Chain A
Amino acid sequence: MTEILDISLPVIVFVLFSLLTIPVVKTIRKRKIGKTALKLGWFSTVFIIAVISVANLTLKYYAQPSPQPFLNVTLTAEPLAMFSTTFLVDAVSIYMAIIFTMVGAAVFMYSLFYIDSSEELSERYYSIMLIIIGCVIGTVFAGDLLTLFIFWEATAAGSSFLMLYWKTSKSLHATLKYLVMIIIASAFIIYGLSIVYAITGTLNFWAVKNALMALEDKHLLEIAFIFIAAGYSIEAAVVPFHMWLPDAYTAAPASSSAFLSALVDQGSYYVLLRVLIYILTPSTVLPWTLMLAVLSALTMVVGNLLALTEKSVKRLIANVCIADVGYNLVAITSVTSLGIMGNLYFFLIGGITTALSFMTVGILNNMGFETLNDFSGVGRKMPLTSLALLFAAFSFAGVPPFAGFIAKYLVFTSAIEANLSWLAVIGVLTSVIQAAYLLRLINYMYAKKPQDEAKIKEPKKLLAVIFILVTAIIVLGIYPTIVLNLIDPVIQQLPFIP
């Protein structure tokens, strides 16, 4: 019983507090003074409790060197056990829960201080953000394909509210596009899952994997794979299913773009990783490597080329997110322990870097700078904000000593290790394109003359949050061992991967 509590506590904390947030924040808003301080106090409490619950899990299980998952909990007794909700805790899920809580807290702080040009953010907004964090953490603790699906779709549904927040025609369009894509995706996934259930008679990760390994006739499985992979690829914005992402991310307020890119986006990669590597493992279950390799090459090329032609800076960053999907896929397709390590490191760094850039671009957008041309000379007008964006850009481009470099290094090395050198070559070449357009952005910021000389006052509180993340990318770039040691237990749990 304590085991169930251990697992579900982080999820319960977020969901419960998300419900409590509405009345609490409503009360706070009625007060005249100290609103921000009170809100900060309330949300700090939420996150401290959440951190305690995750820390509890970590301390109890994480350090155990065990080739099996630490916990595998079924909620229903026989005879429906095969079809029941299960939770599973292994090293990956704990690691993901840790980074979701950490990065979530940082983005949350930002949205607390982020005063929109028109109004302050409503209590529903915070509540939805909390519930999404809860759902993402639920996703990583899911132990069977159905639970994974339910939590993940809940995340997607919640995200659509964040995109819809401004209720302009642009954001309505973007949300509609997103919802249609997500609904198609979930239909695909459900169809694929039903086939999997038909073949194996179970949905539990380990049971499914064992049943599939013993499977003789794999024709049905191939169909199921196509549907499942396509479905989750749509949600992760793999090219050619990427069209919704730039619209969705640009339609949302900056704090939600940061939130979506740092948590939901990374969550979608996690789902791909879990389903493809842990369940449909290549060579033992189904050889899908080449197909995904082609998709990842396509994603890197298209994402970077789209960003190269982009004029609006926020859309440019959104297109970088697409390119990042490609880099993550490179590591997933390599199916090596180095690749998984690269993936997990990339989840954290990609999340931090995209969040960082959306945050800074959000501040600049609020000051009325939207396109590359508007960005002329902001380096002199708003030096600190621009500096943060500069660091984020270099981290994206994979220039050491920023953390993005180590992430890319791991990814490309894993591709070479898996005999996919051509993919690594495409990867580094697109990474040069990436450096080119990010440098063009920097050129605009520092080389061009500003339209007027007036200095703009920079929001100090937001910058405090931003510079926490900047410190993180520099420290993790110079000394990645902190996180790589944290990932190590995951690698110990991959007996089926070379």
Chain B
Amino acid sequence: MQNTLLLTLLLPTLTVPFVYLLGRKSSKIASFLVALICIINIALLSTTVPSILNGADHKYVESYYWIPVLHSSFTLFVDGISFSMAIITLILILTAALFSINYMQERKGLAEYYALLTLLSIGLVGVFITSNLMLFYFCWELMLVPTYFIIGGWGYKEPYRAAFKFFIFTHAGAVFVLLGIGAIFMVTGDLDMFQAQAALMTANPTLVEWILLSFTAGFAVKMATVPVHMWLPDAHSEAPAPMSALLSGVIISAGAYAILRVSLGTVFPALIATEFGRQFLHGLAIFGILSAFFGSLIALVETDIKRIIAYSSIAHMGYVLFGLSLFPFQEAITGTVLHLINHAVSKGLLFLSAGAVMKQLEIRDIREMGGLAGQMPITATSSTTAALSIAGIPPFACFISEFLIFVGAFQTINNDNFYLIPTALMLIATVLSLAYALRFVGHVFLGSAKREKVTEVPFFMKLAMIILTAFVIILGVWPSFFVQLIMSVTFI
């Protein structure tokens, strides 16, 4: 088909009013509609796989007339990386929508909730499948507004406070991205990522350095790198569980994807041979280690069930940042992108299970939980799977990607012995992640039951968790589909 990618954006856009109207009649139907759109979109995107794997430059591109004055056309493209990210996003939205049927059923205003979720899916998918920076920014900010209202409208404690923090932090990050985009337009006269990459090669290096820093700082906020992580624990833990799954699974991964695609893929090649470029990568590695240790250590002592997972997300974005600092080593980048995917699925599953536990127990402190394994077997199985995956235990998903990152790191040490100590530190950090994962499982599911009469969650919540559990295991034992896709992308 000619307009596959345009359709994947148009379809949810056009369905938003229907989701809202049907949602006023029955929220279940609205949720099914969201799920249906996700399935159709997955199918649509899958039709591009042959041209990604066998095409001339491993890409599938569509371009439409948009704003000629700004040299912007409505360019949509998928290559291996964006395809994988978009698919995982859609799977997570699908499970989030199914999970919401039971999880949100007592809440009010679900028509708005599902309409916002549909809007969010446009932004989330759009970020991954465009190569025009202006359109990219549109989608980037389109992630923001629905998320703000979902956290605020259906969250816990003081939800609008958390949502406000989220909005302001990430919007402040986004304006730096905007400065970078403006500067790229000025230097290259073009807003296409791939055209700009070539044009930046001949630009004034000092300016390119500033553009690189501006972009990276902006994206790092979304990625919740220490020291700009402050929005994450609040937003992730106050949001309703399906939204937390999307926040942790996709939205922060979008930050990492953007660093890879824009900072490293578009701007960095112009500086790759310079001393500044080397130091920039070292900087990424250092911030990665800081995030990994900071996140893991706080996750070890935190007692709120969702905050543990939230801090673990900061830690994992640390691994990802470390992986990105190994650019452009093929194994490391493949491992990093694969880790984004695996982490998205595992963390999404973990947040959904935590939501299931909170829903049945109505408490958040893990010290008051225990022995749920017998009472909620499916939730217990899926959380344990997710937790072990997060800890990097084979055969679950995250093991293989962390392994690839370390393979890349050891290769890099040959060329640049700066990486010797960071790699060692990163290995220690993985031990910490095993510690907090076991602590989480032990406190919540093992030991003696502290409460009587806890029942398993309703059908759709189980279904959502089972789907994701299956993915965690499949991605762990058979990663080659995504690996093949990601390997097809070359940056330099």
Q: List 6 A-B contacts (CB under 8 A).
A: A400-B137, A401-B141, A428-B178, A432-B172, A435-B167, A484-B69
Q: Given that A401-B138, A439-B167, A443-B164 are known contacts, is A409 also in contact with B178, CB under 8 Å in the complex?
A: yes
Residue of A nearest to B137 (CB): A400
Report A395-435 CB contacts with B as 1/0, cut-off 8 Å: 00111110001000110110011000100110011011001
Min CB distance, A348 to chain B, in Å? 15
- A447 at interface by CB-CB < 8 Å: yes
Partner of B152, one of A394, A428, A447, A480: A447
Which residues on A sit within 8 Å (CB–CB) of B70? 410, 484
Complex A-B, nearest 10 residue pairs according to Cβ-Cβ distance, in ascending order: A447-B160, A413-B182, A428-B175, A400-B138, A484-B69, A432-B172, A417-B186, A400-B141, A416-B182, A435-B171
Q: Give which listed residue, A394, A429, A484, contacts B145 with CB less than 8 A.
A: A394
B164 touches which of A439, A479, A485 (Cβ 8 Å): A439
Q: Which residues of chain B from 59 to 103 have a CB within 8 Å of any chain A CB? A: 65-70
B144 within 8 Å of A (CB atoms) = yes
Q: Which of A400, A410, A412, A435 contacts B179 (CB 8 A)?
A: A412
CA distance A400 to B167 in the complex (A): 14
User: Using a CB-CB cutoff of 8 Å, which residues 332-357 of chain A contact chain B?
Assistant: 341
Given the interface pairs A409-B182, A416-B183, A432-B171, the reply to whether A401 lies near B68 with Cβ below 8 Å is no
Please determine whether B179 and A446 come into contact, CB atoms closer than 8 angstroms: no
Decide if A484 touches B67 in the complex (CB within 8 Å): yes
On chain B, the residues within 8 Å of A479 by CB distance are 66-67
Further contacts, 18 of them, CB under 8 A, given A413-B182, A421-B179, A443-B152: A394-B145, A401-B138, A401-B141, A409-B178, A413-B185, A416-B182, A416-B183, A417-B186, A421-B210, A428-B176, A431-B175, A432-B172, A432-B175, A435-B167, A439-B148, A439-B168, A446-B160, A481-B66
Residues of A within 8 A of B181 (CB): 409
Question: Is there a chain B Cβ closer than 8 Å to A436's Cβ?
Answer: yes
Residues of A within 8 A of B149 (CB): 446
Please state if A416 and B179 are interface contacts (CB–CB under 8 Å): yes
**Which residue on chain A has the smallest CB distance to residue B67?**
A481
CB distance from B109 to the nearest CB of A (A): 10
A488 located at the interface, meaning its Cβ lies under 8 Å from any Cβ of chain B in the complex: yes
| A435 nearest CB neighbor, chain B only | B171
> Please, which residues of chain A bring their CB within 8 A of the CB of B175?
398, 428-429, 431-432
Q: Are A399 and B141 in contact (CB under 8 A)?
A: yes
Q: Roughly how many angstroms separate A399 CA and B171 CA in the complex, as a whole number?
A: 9
Give the CA-CA distance A398 to B137 in the complex, in Å.
11
Proximity bits, A56-95, B CB within 8 Å = 1, else 0 = 0000000000000000000000000000000000000000
- A488 / chain B contacts, CB cutoff of 8 Å: 69
B153 at the interface (CB under 8 A from A): yes
Cβ–Cβ contact B144 & A399, under 8 A? yes
Taking Cβ atoms with an 8 Å cutoff, the residues of A that contact B are: 341, 394, 397-401, 405, 409-410, 412-413, 416-417, 421, 424-425, 428-429, 431-432, 435-436, 439-440, 443, 446-447, 479-481, 484-485, 487-488
**CB–CB B176/A416 < 8 A:** no
Cβ-based interface call for B40 (8 A): no
Interface of chain A, helix or strand or loop or mixed? helix
In the complex, whether B228 has a CB less than 8 A from a CB of chain A is no
Q: How far is the CA of A401 from the CA of B142 in the complex (A)?
A: 7
- The answer, among B66, B159, B186, for a CB contact under 8 Å with A413, is B186
Closest to B177 in A: A428
Given A399-B144, A439-B164, A443-B160, A412–B66 Cβ distance below 8 Å?
A: no
Complex CA gap A401/B146 in Å reads: 12
CB under 8 Å from chain A, chain B span 380-431: none
When each residue 123-136 of chain B gets 1 if its CB lies under 8 Å from chain A and 0 otherwise, what string results?
00000000000100
By beta carbon, the residue of chain B nearest A448 is B160
Contact yes or no, A412 B168, CB < 8 A: no
Smallest CB–CB gap between B210 and chain A, Å? Answer: 8
Which residue of chain B is the closest to A480 with respect to CB atoms? B67
Distance in angstroms between the alpha carbons of A12 and B319 in the assembled complex: 70
Complex Cα gap A328–B149 (Å): 31
User: Which residues of chain A have C-beta atoms less than 8 A from B152's C-beta?
Assistant: 443, 446-447
* Contact A424-B66, Cβ < 8 Å, known A432-B171, A443-B160: no
Contacts of A485 in B (CB 8 A): 69
Interface residue count for B (Cβ, 8 Å)?
34
For the complex, what is the distance from the CA of A405 to the CA of B181, rounded to whole Å?
13
What B residues does A412 contact at CB under 8 A?
178-179, 182
Roughly how many angstroms separate A428 CA and B210 CA in the complex, as a whole number?
16
CA distance A439 to B175 in the complex (A): 16
B75 CB to nearest chain A CB (Å) = 15
Residue of B nearest to A485 (CB): B69
Given contacts A413-B186, A432-B168, contact A341 B69 (CB under 8 A): yes
Q: Is there contact, CB below 8 Å, between B168 and A425?
A: no
Q: Please measure, in the bound complex, the distance between the C-alpha atom of A439 and the C-alpha atom of B151, giving whole angstroms.
A: 14
Which one of A401, A416, A484, A485 has the greatest number of beta carbons of chain B within 10 Å? A416
Which B residues lie within 8 Å of A401 (CB)?
Answer: 138, 141-142
Q: What residues of chain B lie closer than 8 Å to A439, measured between beta carbons?
A: 148, 164, 167-168
Compute how far the CA of A475 lies from the CA of B255 in the bound complex, rounded to whole angstroms: 28
B141: chain A residues within 8 A (beta carbon) = 399-401, 405
From 140 to 198 in chain B, residues with beta carbon under 8 angstroms from any chain A beta carbon are 141-142, 144-145, 148-149, 152-153, 159-160, 164, 167-168, 171-172, 175-176, 178-179, 181-183, 185-186
Q: A416 and B66: CB pair below 8 A?
A: no
- Residues in chain A near residue B153, CB distance under 8 A: 446
A479 to B142, CA, bound (A): 16
Cβ of B142: which chain A residues have Cβ within 8 Å of it?
A: 400-401
Chain B residues with CB under 8 A of A417 = 186
Measured CA separation A481–B73 after assembly (Å) = 11
Complex: A417 Cα to B185 Cα, angstroms? 9
Q: Give A401 to B181 CA distance when docked, in angstroms.
A: 16
In the complex, A425 Cα to B180 Cα: how many Å? 11
- For A409, the chain B residues whose CB sits under 8 A away are 134, 178, 181-182
Contacts of A435 in B (CB 8 A): 167-168, 171
Q: Which residue of B lies closest to A410 (CB)?
A: B70
Known: A400-B141, A435-B167. A425 touches B66 (CB 8 A): no
The complex places the Cα of A435 from the Cα of B145 at a distance, in Å, of 12
> In the complex, A30 Cα to B138 Cα: how many Å?
53
CA distance A436 to B175 in the complex (A): 13
CB proximity of A491 to chain B, nearest CB, Å? 8
* Chain B residue with the shortest CB-CB distance to A341: B69
A26 to chain B, nearest CB (A): 45
State how many angstroms separate the Cβ of A281 from the closest Cβ of chain B. 21
In angstroms, Cα B186 to Cα A424, docked, is 13
Contacts of A398 in B (CB 8 A): 175
Does the CB pair A436–B168 fall under 8 Å? yes
Residue numbers in A under 8 Å from B66 (CB-CB): 479, 481
Bound complex: CA of A321 vs CA of B67, how far in Å? 27
Nearest Cβ in chain B — how far from A495, in angstroms?
Answer: 18
Chain A positions within 8 Å of B148 at CB level: 439
B182 and A481 contacting across the interface, CB-CB below 8 Å: no
Residue ID in chain A nearest B167 by CB atoms: A439
Report chain A residues within 8 Å CB of B69. Answer: 341, 481, 484-485, 487-488
A64 and B253 CA atoms in complex are apart in Å by 50
Measured CB to CB, the nearest residue on chain A to B153 is A446
Q: A488 CA to B67 CA in the complex, in Å? A: 12
The residues of A that contact B65 with a CB separation of less than 8 Å are 481
Tell me if B160 and A416 are in contact (CB < 8 A): no
Which of B65, B137, B138, B153 has most chain A Cβ within 10 Å?
A: B138
CA distance A256 to B293 in the complex (A): 58
Docked Cα-Cα span, A479 to B70, in Å, equals 12
Give Cα A412–Cα B185 distance, bound, in whole angstroms.
11
Please measure, in the bound complex, the distance between the C-alpha atom of A440 and the C-alpha atom of B163, giving whole angstroms.
11
A-chain residues with CB within 8 Å of residue B179 when the two chains form the complex: 412, 416, 421, 424-425, 428
